[in-house]
């Protein structure tokens, strides 16, 4: 898995910094410090500008903060086709895998410029206001106008 990940990164990306950032985000700071041979500081970590669309890490963040019982309603509110829903539930046994596949399928069918507003509004409809706020903050998105 790590080899596949490394080969997918372009040469101008500092792989150790990306890996350390991911480890820190998953509460594995000690392992990241061992990898970086010392204390991890913010300048040693990769910071990304707020994007106007979702990447895989954003979808994992939503999945990790989503109640496993609410994913079925979410799929309907996001407007997934019944054939997509059947395929997801048939191919994945774990709820978390179903949620991630649901989110990836949805994201890949959306224009990049509309992903964040649609997801924020959908999460609010699900009464997941805190998660909607976190998604807004991750992307610097403001819909208060």
Q: Residue ranges of the alpha helices (H) in the chain?
A: 2-8, 15-25, 29-36, 56-64, 71-77, 82-91, 95-108, 115-125, 129-139
Dump pLDDT digits (tens) for 81-96: 888 888 888 888 888 8
Domain boundaries in the chain? Answer: 2-44, 56-139
Which homologous superfamily is 56-139 in? Answer: Death Domain, Fas (1.10.533.10)
Sign of CA dihedral 32, 33, 39, 44: negative
- Which pLDDT band holds residue 129 (cuts at 50, 70, 90)? very high
Dump pLDDT digits (tens) for 99-108: 888 899 899 8
Dump pLDDT digits (tens) for 16-61: 667 777 777 777 778 877 777 665 555 545 444 456 788 888 888 8
Please provide residue 38's backbone torsions phi and psi, each rounded to the nearest 5 degrees: 150, -165
- Which pLDDT band holds residue 122 (cuts at 50, 70, 90)? very high
């Amino acid at each position: 898995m790590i080899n596949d990940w490394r080969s997918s990164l372009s040469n101008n990306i500092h792989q150790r910094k990306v890996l350390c950032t991911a480890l820190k985000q998953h509460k594995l700071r000690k392992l990241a410090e061992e990898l970086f041979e010392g204390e991890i500081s913010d300048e040693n970590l990769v910071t990304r500008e707020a994007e106007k669309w979702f990447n895989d890490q954003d979808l994992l963040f939503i999945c990790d903060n989503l109640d496993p019982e609410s994913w079925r309603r979410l799929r309907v509110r996001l407007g997934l086709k019944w054939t997509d829903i059947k395929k997801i539930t048939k191919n994945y046994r774990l709820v978390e895998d179903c949620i991630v596949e649901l989110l990836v399928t949805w994201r890949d069918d959306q224009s990049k410029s509309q992903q964040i507003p649609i997801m924020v509004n959908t999460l609010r409809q699900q009464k997941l206001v805190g998660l909607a706020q976190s998604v807004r903050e991750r992307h610097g998105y403001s819909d208060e106008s």
